[in-house]
Structure 1
Amino acid sequence: MQFVHALTPDGPATLRLPGAARPVGIAGIVWGLHEEICTPAYWAAQTWHLELEEPDHYRLGETLEDELLACLLGGYGIPAEIGLAAYRRLAEAYRGGIDLRDCAHVESLLRTPLHIAGRAVRYRFAAQKARYVAAAMAALPAIDRELPDRALRDALTGITGIGPKTASWIVRNWRASDDVSILDIHILRAGRILGIFDPRWSVERNYHVLERAYLDFALKIGCRASILDSAMWTLMRVLPSAMVKRLLERGGRADVPRATISSEMNGVLQLPLR
C-alpha cells in the first residue's frame, strides 16, 4: 500500500493507494509511486487533494448561459486570465439586459481592451468568437436542458462554433458531470504518457473512443473524471516541453523511472485551474 496525507479543516486525512507494482487493470499499466509525476498513483493523489480543497472549482456561473459563454471565450489560443476577463464582461452585459444574439454588439464588447493586473489587454479572435457567441445564444433556447449529460453534450455540438471538446467543457462545468471528457491537448498528452491513449487516435476522428478510455481510467483509479481533468490540465500546461517529450517517449512503460523527472518539477508554479 501507499499512503498520501493531507491536512484538512476537519483534521488530518489519509488516502490509501495500491502498491506501485500493482496493476491498474488497463493494458498492463501499474499504479507507480504517487510522488512520481504522471503515474496513475500521482493522478489519484493530485485529484484527491484537489477534491478536498476545491471540489467545485470549475463552475464559473449559475446558469447554462454562463458556462457556455465562459467555455466559448476560453480554450485554445486564449490565456486563461484573458478568457475569464472576457467572460465576465459579456456575462455582466447579459445580466444587464444586453442582447448577445447581436453579433456586432458582442464584437464591440470583445474588441474593447480588457484590464488585467493593471494593464490593457486585447482579446484575440474577437470577430470569430463574436459570431460563435451570437449564434450560440440564439440557438440555446431550443436545447432541451433536461437531457442526460452526454446527450446534452451532443446536442450542444449542433451549435456553430461548439465542438465536442467545448460542449463537454460546458456540460462538465454546469452539471459537475463525470460522464464526459474535455479532450484538449493537455489531456491527450497525459493519456499518452499513461499509455491509455493510442498515439494514432485523434480528437477529430476518435473523440468517443478517447473519452471512453479516459473515463475508464478515472473509474479504475477511483477518481471523479471531472476533477481528474483539472488536475491533469493544471500540471500538463506548465510542464516544460522537453520534459513532456521525455514522458511521451517513456509512455506507459514501467521499466523507465520517473523519479528524476519528478525531482525536476520542484518549484514549478501551478496556474489557474480549469
Structure 2
Amino acid sequence: MGASLLHNMLLRELALVGVLVIVLIIFYIRFRAAGKKEYVRTRERRLAHVVSSARKQLIVVLVLLAGVLVYDRVLPHFGIGAQAAQTATTSSTTSAKKPTKTERSARLKKAQSVSKQAKSLSESISKSSSVAAKASSSSAASASSAKAASASLAKAASASSAAASSVSASKAAAVDPKVKAVAAVQAHMAQYPSETSDTRIDNVGVIQYTTDYTGVPAYEVGLYQTQADGSSVAVHMYFYYADGSVAKAY
C-alpha cells in the first residue's frame, strides 16, 4: 500500500482530499456540540477552541496537498519526483522480467522437443490410418469375392433346380396323359394366340376323357377364367387326341 501511494499520483491526491473532508466533518460535529453549551462563556470558549484547532488542521492538510501537487505536477518537469520514481520502478520490473540467455535456450529446447513429439505422433497416426485403410480395402475385396461366389452358387442351385423340375415335369408328362394334354394345348395356344386373345385365360385343365363330335376318343381340355367370387368358368375348350394333335371345340 505504501509503495502504491508513493508511485500513484491519483491515490495520493485522493487520500489528501479524503483527509480534508474528514477534518471538515469533525469540525462541523465539534462546532455544533460546542454551540449547544448552556453557558455563554463556556460556549464561546469551546467555539474558539474548535475553530483554532480546525484552522491548524486545515493548514497542515493544505500544506501537505500543496507539497503533493508540487511533487506530482512540478518536479517531474525537472526529471525528479513521481514520474522519475515510476520510470525507475518500470525499468526495474522490466529488467526483472527479462529472461536470461539460459532460460531462452531452455525454452527453445522445450519447444523443439514438443515439436518433435507432435511430428512423431502425427507420423504414427498416419501410418495407423494407412494400415486401417489397407485392412478395410482387403476386407471389402474379400467380402465382394464371397458375395460373388455365393451369387454364382445360388445361380447354379437355381439352374439345377430348374433342370430337375423340367426333368420331373417331362417324366410326369410321359407317365400321365392328362399332363400331356394340358402341355399340348398350352403349346397350341402359344402357336395360335389369336384363338384365345378375346378372353383372359387364368387356368388350363383336363375336363374328362370322352369322344369328339365325330366320335373319335379324345381328352376335353378346358380354358378357365376366374370370376370375382372365386369360381372358375370355362371360356374355351380343346380336344387332345392320342396322336398328339389338338383341335378347338369352341
The two structures have a TM-score, normalised by structure 1, of: 0.22
Q: Which has the higher strand share?
A: 2
Greater relative contact order structure (CA < 8 Å, 6+ sep): 1
Q: Which has the higher helix share?
A: 2
> Which protein shows a greater Rg?
2
